Structure formats: structure tokens, C-alpha cells
């Protein structure tokens, strides 16, 4: 069964979230949902735009980081977020996504970057899990 | 989990974890702390991260950990690592995403009594003149060519464009310009993020603060810095904005491959590094220098806006409203410096992440005004508590690669701070203490509550007792603009 769970965990200075999902594809989506929650992303009425994102990386952890980096870049530079997405993993460590972006309200919290700190995608009881640490 | 018993107490405020603690340690870890700050350092992952950093190849001496240490990512905040040049490594994660995040302080001859009734207006004017907030863009729109000039010239660009006074440049670490900068090493995404953010404060723990000098501890040194008890000062804390964040992100990602290529095994992927003289290492140094120059220039442009705010509010109301630069220092930077190691001068790349350069008297890199007293070390407190002006010492050159602490250091997570503190109540409490606050969000204010930080006075006592810095002046906050 597909699922996505995430929760903020203690970190002295920055932000850390534990994400859990049924498989890697869900884990990527779950990271996006978690990011939206951490930033309290609010979409404003605007024209939706569609764009295709293709990413490749040497391993799954790097691909996860790149996926989140794409969103952080769009949020800062274009003030837009991903309202919805469909995601495919044609090859291991590659993804193709069609994302629907929309304008967002000004943010109250800054996330500077997503880090590789202690990043490892592990198997858990019902799927996969990882901890993402963000520099804020 | 590291325990107090794992440390060797080698001096009253110096504790060491020897290389025998873990098989992959290449050098010891040395912590400056009193008993209480040692306990605080053991409450999070700080010391594990310092031990992980001690596995970096080519280190020239111990990993140094300051008393304001707290957990970061990969490398602890408050850490110093010196790698041998040219055969050591450079690690972007050991410098941080906000490259050349730093503090600038300016002095005035404005007495608190004459400005007291204008503090509300001054806080508002600073808030209006100095753009702040998440992803905020400034008044300056740089063309690609202008941004490349900022990358190469740093604060000198600001001087050429009438955002600086000559003394500002002289009183900036490295005169606000790192020579190794090469914009060709910077990605188009970083350039995109940097072009509209020059002259902005940003968010998080960045701030502008007006203080009053509460106490002078060393009159001659204070005179050399233009400090007088009862007069106002201004502090700016910010860095290289999205430009630097993107450069660090790009290189941490690229260095994942470099670490494999050079067969460097590390316990944490955020510590990835490359040999200093490898193509990857040289590219990062060139890009990091661009971000460092951007940050110097950013603080300089903000200084110009702060001067406009002071003039708007205080011209004609006080006799002299001029802001004179004391110093500007980085606390997230990697720099090639010469240090005496085992009795011999050696070139090393000093990574300082949440640590301040603190060169002692006589160092050739100091401006003439500070040659006899040592480099100013600026230590902001948490919002509502003291800040300090210190100077570096000869002992800092011997004990800490010419480094000292950078602030109070967090002790409580942002999550817990928001659960414990209500932003609106904190605002009232601070205003009742006579501190004007301008903040973008109440939750952001709660995250930065003084309770979330260590006692900055205790941190300062440790670095002074260790001999790596000397007290010059203590400041009390009057107005804070939070990013």
C-alpha cells in the first residue's frame, strides 16, 4: 500500500525531518510534501505552469537531494512551488517528472539548502525511510 | 555517545579527545569549555561531528572546537580545521552554505541619552532601509557583468559605486576582497540567485542591531577602535545570501564524485572534500572566494543603507551621526594562511565554520590601527543579551590557528523554542526592557529567543581564560531588526 509519513525531529540549529514511504518513488514525493509543510507553503491564485524535470545522480541519496534542491531553487528564484507532480523512475537513479507550478505567498521561514548530512535511505518495516537535514 | 570521561582535561578550559578514542581519527579534537559548556556540548551531536571532521585527510593539527559549539551538518558550528597546503583537502561542508556569513560593527559618537527618544524611529528606519526576509530582493539589480565584478572585487565594487568609505575597506578582513575569485567557477543558478539580492539581510538568525557600549575593559584598545562608554554602535550579521547557498550546494554535490575519484573515505557525506590543488579543489576555492566577496560587498551595501537610516532619523538631532567602521569579519570561511606548527611556519587552509579569525598583535594582515592591539573579534549575543568586542592574541595563533568564538551558540532546537516561547510575548518582554524589535514573523522571533542560546558571557569568559582573546568592550542591545 502506498503511503507517506514525515515528522520533524530535534536538531539544535537547523531543521531535520524523518520521511517514510512505501518505495523510492513515494519517498521523493514524501520529501516534497514534508518540505511544503516545513515552509508552510501557501499557493496563491495564479496561472499554473507545467514543466518537465529530468534528473540523474550517482545514487538514490544524491537523487533525493537533487529533487529537493530543484524545489528550493524554484521557490527562491521564481517564488513558485510545485502544486502537483507525476513522477517516473525510468532507470535506477534517474527520474522524469511533470510538475505543475503555481505562485506562492511570501514565506516566513528560510531554508538555505538541503544537506547530505547522515543521509542514507534505509529499509524500514513497511518501506523506506531517510532523514533529511536542512540548513536554515 | 561521547561522555565527559572520554576527554582528557589538558588545561583549565581545554579538553581533548585523543586519537585513540576512535580508530579512524587522524588528529585529536580539542574543545575550549568550562564544565558547564562541556556538558552543553555533549547534549547534541556536536562532538560526534568534530570527531568525524578529525578523519579528514591532510590535517595539520587538532580539530578545534569553540565554547559556542552546537550541532550542524557534517562539521559542527564552532569548529576549526586546518589542512596542510598544498597536500591537504578543502571541504565545502566544513565552511557552510552561508559562505562568509559574518559580522560587521560600526562605532558612533552618539551618546545614548541624546538618541534615546529616537530609538523607535531608528529601528523603523533601519527596517525600511535594509531589506530583510526570506528570499527578499534588494534595490540593486546587477547585470551579469556587474555580478562578475562583485565576485572579483568584493567591497572594492561598493567603494567604486559610492556605497563605501575608504576606511570601511581598510577595516574589513582581507580588505573585503579575496584575490582567488573566479566567476567562471560559479554556476548559472548561483548567478541567477545572486543578481537581485545584493544589499539584503535575509532571514533566519541574521540581524541588524543598535547597541550601547556598557563597559570598556581596555581603554587604549577601545580608543584605537573609536569606542566610548555610553555611545551607540551598530552590528550587521549576514552573509552571501542565495548566491553562497547555491555555490555550496553545487560543490557538495560535485564533491560526492570527487571523494570517490580521490578515494577519500569519510564517515559523513556532508564532509566530502577534494585535494586543495586538484581541479575540483581549485574550482571550489575560486567559487568560494566569489561568494566571500559577494558577502563582504553585501554587508558594505547594507552599511550604506544603515548610514542613510541614521542620517534620516538623527541628522540635526544629535551632533555627530556618522557611523565609523570598527571591523568586518567572516565566521564561515576557508582561507590559506601561514601558521607556526611544530616550531615551523606552514601554509594551511583554515576552515572556520561558526568561528572567527582572531589574529594577535603584529600580524601583517591587520590594518595599521590594530597592529599593536590585535584583530577585533566581534561576538554578538542572542537577541536581548550582551554582545562583546574582543581582540585576538598571540596565544590564539598557537592554540587555535588564530581563531576564536563567533557568538553565543544555540542550545535549543527551533522546534522546542517555538513550543516554549511565544513570539508576541517575547516581543513585549524585550520592549519592556527597552529593546525595540522589528521582526518579519512572530514564529521566527520565537525561534531566535534568548532562551534558545547559551550564555554569551560564559562563552566569552572561556575564550578569555583560554587566552585566545581579550575583552575590550561589552554592549547592551537597544534595537534589533530581525531578518
**Minimal Cβ distance to B411: which of A12, A65, A76:** A12
Q: Which residues contact B192 (CB under 8 A, 6 or more apart)?
A: A77
Q: How far is B215 from chain A (nearest CA, A)?
A: 30
Domains in chain A: boundaries: 4-135
CB contact under 8 Å between A62 and B256, yes or no, is: yes
* A46 neighbors A26 (Cβ within 8 angstroms): no
Q: What is the mean pLDDT of residues A73-91?
A: 95
Q: Is B242 in the A-facing interface, judged by CB distances under 8 Å?
A: yes
- Locate the chain A residue with the closest alpha carbon to B440: A108
* CATH number given to A4-135: 3.55.10.10
Alpha-carbon distance of B94 to B84, in angstroms, equals 15
Query: How far, in Å, CA of B481 to CA of B463, rounded?
Result: 28
Beta-strand ranges (E) seen in A67-121 are 80-88, 94-103, 113-114
In chain B the domains, ranked by start, together with CATH numbers, are: 4-411+453-482 (3.90.1860.10)
CB < 8 Å from A in window 365-384 of B: none
CB atoms within 10 A of CB B368: 7
* Number of residues that this document lists for chain A: 136
Are A112 and B272 a contacting pair at CB < 8 A? no
Interface of B with A in 43-72 (CB under 8 A): 44, 46, 70-72
- Neighbouring CB atoms inside 10 A of B192's CB total 18
CA nearest neighbour of B27 among B68, B80, B78:
B80
For residues A122 and A128, give the distance between their C-alpha atoms in angstroms, rounded to a whole number. 6
In B258-297, the residues whose Cβ lies within 8 Å of chain A are 260, 268-270, 272
User: Whole-angstrom Cα distance, residue B302 to residue B239?
Assistant: 11
CA distance B14 to B34: 8
pLDDT in tens, chain B (483 residues): 899 999 999 999 999 999 999 999 999 999 999 999 999 999 999 999 999 999 999 999 999 999 999 999 999 999 999 999 999 999 999 999 999 999 999 999 999 999 999 999 999 999 999 999 998 899 999 999 999 999 999 999 999 999 999 999 999 999 999 999 999 999 999 999 999 999 999 998 999 999 999 999 999 999 999 999 999 999 999 999 999 999 999 999 999 999 999 999 999 999 999 999 999 999 999 999 999 999 999 999 999 999 999 999 999 999 999 999 999 999 999 999 999 999 999 999 999 999 999 999 999 999 999 999 999 999 999 988 999 999 999 999 999 999 999 999 999 999 999 999 999 999 999 999 999 999 988 998 999 999 999 999 999 999 999 999 999 999 999 999 998
For residue B292, which of B98, B45, B63 has the smallest C-alpha distance?
A: B98
| pLDDT (0 to 100) of residue A45 | 86
| B406 part of the active site | yes
CA-based angle B68:B57:B101, to the nearest 5?
35
Cβ-based contacts of A75 with chain B (< 8 Å): 135
Q: Is B254 on the interface with A (CB under 8 A)?
A: no
A2–chain B nearest CA distance, Å: 29
Comparing CA positions, the residue from B322, B401, B395, B338 lying closest to residue B107 is: B322
Strand partners of residue B391: B376, B470
User: pTM here?
Assistant: 0.97
Please name the residues in contact with B430: beta carbons below 8 A apart, sequence gap of 6 or more: B383, B384, B437, B480
Q: Is B435 exposed, middle or buried (0-12, 13-18, 19+ CB in 10 A)?
A: buried
* Contact (Cβ atoms closer than 8 angstroms) between residue B356 and residue B380: no
Q: Which residue of A has its CA nearest to B48?
A: A118
Q: Do B256 and A77 touch (CB under 8 A)?
A: no
What's the CA gap between A96 and A91, in Å, rounded? 10
Cross-chain residue pair B203–A116, CB shorter than 8 Å: no
CB-based contact A115 B415, cutoff 8 Å: no
Q: Which residue of A has its CA nearest to B196?
A: A77
Q: Which candidate, A40, A21, A24, A56, places its Cα nearest to that of A104?
A: A40
Residue in B93, B239, B269 to test binding to A, most A beta-carbons within 10 Å:
B269
Amino acid at each position: 500500500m502506498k503511503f507517506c509519513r514525515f515528522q520533524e525531529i530535534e536538531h539544535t540549529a537547523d531543521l531535520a525531518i524523518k520521511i517514510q514511504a512505501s518505495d523510492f518513488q513515494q519517498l521523493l514525493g514524501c520529501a516534497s510534501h514534508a518540505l511544503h509543510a516545513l515552509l508552510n507553503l501557501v499557493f496563491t491564485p495564479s496561472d499554473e505552469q507545467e514543466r518537465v524535470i529530468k534528473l540523474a545522480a550517482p545514487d538514490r541519496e544524491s537523487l533525493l537531494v537533487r529533487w529537493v534542491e530543484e524545489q528550493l531553487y524554484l521557490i527562491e528564484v521564481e517564488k513558485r512551488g510545485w502544486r502537483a507532480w507525476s513522477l517516473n523512475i525510468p532507470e535506477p537513479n534517474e527520474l522524469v517528472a511533470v510538475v505543475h507550478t503555481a505562485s506562492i505567498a511570501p514565506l516566513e521561514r528560510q531554508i538555505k539548502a538541503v544537506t547530505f548530512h547522515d543521509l542514507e535511505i534505509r529499509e524500514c518495516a513497511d518501506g523506506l525511510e531517510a532523514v533529511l537535514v536542512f540548513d536554515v | 555517545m561521547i561522555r565527559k570521561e572520554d576527554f582528557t582535561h589538558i588545561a583549565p578550559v581545554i579538553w581533548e579527545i585523543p586519537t585513540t578514542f576512535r580508530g579512524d581519527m587522524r588528529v585529536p579534537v580539542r574543545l575550549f569549555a568550562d564544565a558547564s559548556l562541556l556538558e552543553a556540548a555533549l547534549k547534541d551531536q556536536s562532538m560526534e561531528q568534530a570527531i568525524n571532521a578529525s578523519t579528514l585527510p591532510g590535517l595539520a593539527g587538532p580539530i578545534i572546537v569553540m565554547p559556542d559549539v552546537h550541532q550542524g551538518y557534517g562539521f559542527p558550528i564552532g569548529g576549526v580545521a586546518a589542512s596542510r597546503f598544498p597536500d591537504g583537502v578543502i571541504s565545502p561542508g566544513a565552511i557552510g552554505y552561508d559562505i562568509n556569513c559574518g559580522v560587521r560593527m560600526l562605532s558612533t559618537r552618539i551618546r545614548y541619552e541624546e538618541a534615546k527618544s529616537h530609538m523607535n524611529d531608528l529601528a523603523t528606519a533601519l527596517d525600511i532601509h535594509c531589506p530583510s526576509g526570506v528570499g527578499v530582493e534588494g534595490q540593486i539589480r546587477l547585470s551579469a557583468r556587474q555580478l562578475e565584478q562583485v565576485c572579483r572585487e568584493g567591497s572594492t565594487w561598493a567603494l567604486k559605486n559610492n556605497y563605501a568609505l575608504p576606511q570601511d575597506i581598510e577595516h574589513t578582513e582581507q580588505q573585503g576582497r579575496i584575490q582567488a575569485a573566479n566567476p567562471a567557477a560559479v554556476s548559472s543558478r548561483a548567478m541567477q540567485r545572486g543578481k537581485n539580492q545584493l544589499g539584503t539581510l535575509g532571514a533566519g538568525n541574521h540581524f541588524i542591531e543598535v547597541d550601547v557600549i556598557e563597559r570598556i575593559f581596555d581603554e587604549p584598545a577601545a580608543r584605537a577602535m573609536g569606542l566610548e562608554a555610553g555611545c551607540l554602535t551598530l552590528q550587521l550579521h549576514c552573509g552571501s545570501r542565495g548566491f553562497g547557498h547555491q555555490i555550496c550546494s553545487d560543490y557538495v554535490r560535485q564533491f560526492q564524485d570527487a571523494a570517490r575519484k580521490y578515494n577519500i573515505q569519510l564517515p559523513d557525506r556532508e564532509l566530502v572534500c577534494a585535494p586543495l590543488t586538484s581541479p575540483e579543489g581549485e574550482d571550489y576555492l575560486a567559487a568560494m572566494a566569489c561568494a566571500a566577496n559577494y558577502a563582504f560587498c553585501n554587508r558594505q551595501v547594507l552599511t550604506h543603507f544603515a548610514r542613510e537610516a541614521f542620517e534620516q532619523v538623527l541628522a540635526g538631532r544629535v551632533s555627530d551621526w556618522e557611523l565609523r567602521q570598527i571591523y568586518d569579519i567572516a565566521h564561515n570561511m576557508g582561507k590559506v594562511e601561514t601558521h607556526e606548527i611544530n616550531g615551523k611556519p606552514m601554509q594551511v587552509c583554515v576552515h572556520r565554520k561558526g568561528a572567527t579569525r582572531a589574529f594577535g598583535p603584529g600580524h601583517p594582515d591587520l590594518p595599521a590601527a590594530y597592529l599593536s592591539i590585535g584583530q577585533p573579534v566581534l561576538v554578538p549575543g542572542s537577541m536581548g543579551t550582551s554582545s562583546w568586542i574582543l581582540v585576538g592574541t598571540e596565544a590564539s595563533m598557537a592554540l587555535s590557528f588564530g581563531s576564536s568564538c563567533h557568538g553565543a551558540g544555540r542550545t535549543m532546537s527551533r522546534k522546542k523554542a517555538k513550543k516554549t516561547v511565544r513570539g508576541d510575548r517575547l516581543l513585549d518582554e524585550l520592549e519592556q526592557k527597552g529593546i525595540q524589535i522589528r521582526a518579519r514573523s512572530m514564529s521566527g522571533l520565537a525561534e531566535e529567543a534568548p532562551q534558545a542560546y547559551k550564555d554569551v558571557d560564559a562563552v566569552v569568559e572561556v575564550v578569555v581564560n583560554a587566552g585566545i582573546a581579550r575583552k575590550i568592550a561589552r554592549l547592551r542591545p537597544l534595537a534589533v531588526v530581525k531578518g
